[in-house]
Amino acid sequence: MSRRIALFAAVILALGGCSAHRATVPRGEVEMLLAAPLAQSVVLVVSSDPFQEVPARREPSGTWKATLSRNGEFSYFFLVDGAVFLPECPLKEKDDFGSVNCVFSSSVAE
């Protein structure tokens, strides 16, 4: 049953486009927001050495928020109920494993 929920959430997120994901930079921190109201868990995976997993917390609206110290440009993706999810994002790059990740840059954040 939870696989169905994760698949449904991924479809909803994919149909939502850019409005389902955004980054803001308040108070010198980066807040990564992802609309996933049916998800049971969301984790932001950030490039660093090694990759850093930042658990997100569910807001009352169904949006999940992960907060990290502002550290310039980095690549990232989400784990939604354990499944990799790459949202629509303005900047992307190929990684060393043949996949694509989003790239955060404060110049394109809200």
CA distances from 21 to 24, 89, 93, 95, 97 (A): 10, 8, 17, 21, 24
Number of domain units in the chain = 1
Write the DSSP symbol of residue 9.
H
| Type of residue at 68 | L
Domain membership of residue 98 (yes or no) is yes
Decide if pLDDT at 16 tops 50.
Answer: no
In a domain, 24, yes or no: yes
Question: Residues 34, 39, 40, 43: is their CA dihedral positive or negative?
Answer: negative
Bigger pLDDT: 77 or 1? 77
- Average of pLDDT values for 47-62? 88
Residue 74 forms part of a structural domain: yes
pLDDT band at 110 (very low <50, low <70, confident <90, very high): low
Beta bridge partners of 65: 33, 57
Residues whose CB falls within 8 Å of the CB of residue 2, separated by 6 or more in sequence, listed in order:
40, 81
> Domain of 37?
2-104
Specify the pTM: 0.76
* pLDDT of 33 strictly over 60: yes
Has residue 110 been placed in a domain?
no
Structural tokens at position 77 = 């993706």
The total of other beta-carbon atoms located within 10 Å of residue 53's CB is 11
* pLDDT at residue 4 tops 60: no
Q: Let me know if residue 109 belongs to a domain.
A: no
CATH number at residue 45: 2.60.40.10
43, part of any domain: yes
Is 39 contained in some domain? yes
Q: What is the pLDDT of residues 68-98, one digit of tens each?
A: 886 678 899 999 999 999 998 888 998 888 8
Domain presence at residue 46 = yes
- 94 alpha-carbon distance from chain centroid: 16
